[in-house]
Amino acid sequence: MQQNRLNFHPILYKENTRAFLDDVVPHEVSHLLTWILFGKVQPHGKEWQSIMIHVFGRKPDPTHQFDIKGVTRSFHYRCECDSYALSTRRHNNILRGAQYKCRKCSAPLRMTKEAEAER
């Protein structure tokens, strides 16, 4: 945001061109405009929603429905009762010191040997 620059995933764009042009580009440009006009506010808050509606005439939907299995990577974690596939973002947050807990057993999530090997 600070660089006034947007990046788009080329494979997702190629696989979902119409949705990108209709929804993703307005969504991301609205984030940029929100940052420029209002500074640091809630990512999908009233300012962003207003720009989506009044500037782009689009429904302010914060999520997409793209099939991302072919372009994402997951990292394997465990707690005391289950295993989880965490996103790259959450994995990197953990590497920087964040902690995530299981919602069922409240135990901290720990990297499996597979996740350790992927580091």
- The residues annotated as belonging to the active site are 28
For the beta carbon of residue 62, count every other beta carbon within 10 angstroms. 10
For the beta carbon of residue 48, count every other beta carbon within 10 angstroms. 21
Q: With beta carbons less than 8 A apart as the criterion, state whether 47 and 37 touch.
A: yes
User: How is residue 40 written in tokens?
Assistant: 């640091």
User: How is residue 7 written in tokens?
Assistant: 């990046």
- Which stretch of DSSP H or E encloses residue 6? none
